[in-house]
Structure 1
């Protein structure tokens, strides 16, 4: 999908989306308990969305993107699908993942300073307390019914590499406990070198997962009224990576995994409020970096801000403005009229200069000093 020459340290990305499970259907496959696994078109579309983001930001990553490889098992489902003209790509079978995954891994470790980027989406589970992703040929073979990638093992292997500078891993899959899988001596799809247990770990690997052990991950539309469904975790991650989780650090705007993780629930709340509240959104870090470095240096973005009065019941009585001055005189950056009892969500340009969120009622006004060098969630303006 992408293979270009880059001088110096570079990023190598591998994207896997498993939306088709043909042998996990009625009258197919090996095990009865796996004959009702639904296809997951949103997983295939989520992988496509991630590919588009990587290609669109190839020169903004911590190290420029040199290669991008993708395996996507795409079910035949014509309704409400993400339009994508970059395909077709090969499917995420065990054989393809072993071959292409090894090629990706060897590119990553070939030169010092390289960065690994790994993303996957599909049906998943927890196996021996490690997150896993099931592949397309789940329930196909008597020899290995539970074809899967053990993401924890991959993270450990990358962490033992002495050449890479960082690895960023994201898994949008469930972490549910499956008794038969847990009791089975299932062989994972291993496309990486067995790590030397006595080698020093770099501790520069992060693995963010959509759901912890025993939890489910969910899909959702990208906006209210849309037919396009993607993994909720994927959408929140991409919103953060695109600038909504940026911080000013070392004279640049960057997004680290630690900041992204801390923002995900707030990003879900303010950008994706149309998702059902009955389905949990509990991302968690399966592996964390000791010294987080930015994943991306975004450009052309605004930072989210959420403003509320203190006390909250005064909210509908005040007009609001965002201004570069502490007085509510025009021109201002953003404004909202009184009458709405809900918190005011808007965005502001990033910067190191002060801004003010001002509650206005008649001739009275109450400013709150802000510095938009990071997302500004839950800012309270004290009013009478």
Structure 2
């Protein structure tokens, strides 16, 4: 399969978010097992305030070793939250997804040996004491003919399912970056579209008021729904996140700062943006953009009292201002040039 450079950037962004912004009073961040494959050279990660460390590549033996360490920690307490994140190539056979590891194809007669069988992995994790589990799969779910016709057992479950040891009433959520049989997309040298949308949702686009805690929270179902909306908004409907597993609507994270909301400001006619100096300001926040062709894409804190204004270079059009509010999940404003 073609080498892609989005996964290392995506996993770095997600780990950055976990380290800086994940909040759960009942299950604060305990540890992260990170593996990543990159080219050229090994992947390095720098914890804020620390030194850069080389990260092990995501080969099958190393993934299995890291899983054992992760499982041991997750299994210590029923209130633990287990989060698994994968970004890379993936394929489907039927409804099941297989996540391809760095050494995928090492065995010519059994190339899928070096992959993770996601549904069996999720089923095996029912033995873990951690009551809340999230499996985030940022990968394609296309079904190649060679996979569809194969009669072999595909992939590694990491932990073999055992119904006699499965625990009841677990909240086990799978978040897919794409629908069954469909592709997940990315832009070269950037994060994947899914991970960008997923983090935007976590940072505020999926925020809901938590009256009991007098703050903002992101729940799992709204997280997936808003991630889908952001993907459809950016990609015109060709990619949409989906939900799987044994999911109940539950807390993914609390927000410790004002929620940030994606905002698009467009000019009509579009060519007018070449002359438009744009500002979006409220009593506490202010943003601006010099004249430039195209849509102004930004994120802005929640506020109901913004003033959107446009002044046009060389008096090409009349000045424009409009009182607007910015609330989740996203806002699209149009400046009409006259």
> TM range, normalised to the smaller chain?
0.7 to 0.9
| Cα displacement (A) at 1:167 | 1.3
- State yes or no: 1:169 paired with 2:119: no
Counterparts of 2:78 and 2:216, CA distance in 1:
25
Structure 1 counterpart of 2:328: 374
- Normalised TM-score (structure 1): 0.67
Match of 1:350 among 302, 305, 312: 302
SS at match of 1:87: strand
| Cα displacement (A) at 1:38 | 2.1
SS at match of 1:70: coil
Counterparts of 1:367 and 1:48, CA distance in 2:
37
Q: 1:1-384, aligned counterparts within 5 Å?
A: 37-57=1-21, 63-76=27-40, 86-142=52-108, 144-147=110-113, 148-158=115-125, 160-161=126-127, 163-184=129-150, 185-196=152-163, 199=166, 201-220=168-187, 228-250=189-211, 251-268=214-231, 277=235, 280-287=238-245, 289-299=247-257, 301-305=259-263, 347-350=299-302, 354-355=304-305, 370=325, 374-378=328-332
Counterparts of 1:364 and 1:238, CA distance in 2:
33
Count of equivalent residues: 322
Counterparts of 1:156 and 1:379, CA distance in 2:
45
Contact kept in structure 2, 1:115 and 1:166, CA below 8 Å: yes
SS at match of 2:35: strand
Q: 1:52 to 1:100 in 2, by over 3 A?
A: same
Q: 1:86 to 1:281 in 2, by over 3 A?
A: farther
| Cα displacement (A) at 1:90 | 1.7
Per-residue CA deviations over 1:297-356 (Å, capped at 9, x if unaligned) read: 3425533345789xx88xx8x9998677xxxxxx6855889x9998876544336xx536
Per-residue CA deviations over 1:87-114 (Å, capped at 9, x if unaligned) read: 3222222222222212212321221200
SS at match of 2:112: coil
Structure 2 counterpart of 1:12: none
SS at match of 1:71: coil
Contact kept in structure 2, 1:105 and 1:192, CA below 8 Å: no
Per-residue CA deviations over 1:201-238 (Å, capped at 9, x if unaligned) read: 435222111122221112215xxxxxx32222112212
SS at match of 1:105: helix
Counterparts of 1:180 and 1:198, CA distance in 2:
34
Q: 1:58 to 1:320 in 2, by over 3 A?
A: closer
| Cα displacement (A) at 1:124 | 0.5
Structure 2 counterpart of 1:17: none
| Cα displacement (A) at 1:292 | 2.0
Contact kept in structure 1, 2:23 and 2:254, CA below 8 Å: no
Contact kept in structure 2, 1:149 and 1:189, CA below 8 Å: yes
Structure 1 counterpart of 2:314: none
| Alignment gaps of 5+ in structure 2 | 311-316
Q: 1:262 to 1:232 in 2, by over 3 A?
A: same
Q: 1:96 to 1:336 in 2, by over 3 A?
A: closer
Per-residue CA deviations over 1:162-215 (Å, capped at 9, x if unaligned) read: 732311221111101022223321342232252416956435222111122221
Contact kept in structure 1, 2:117 and 2:154, CA below 8 Å: no
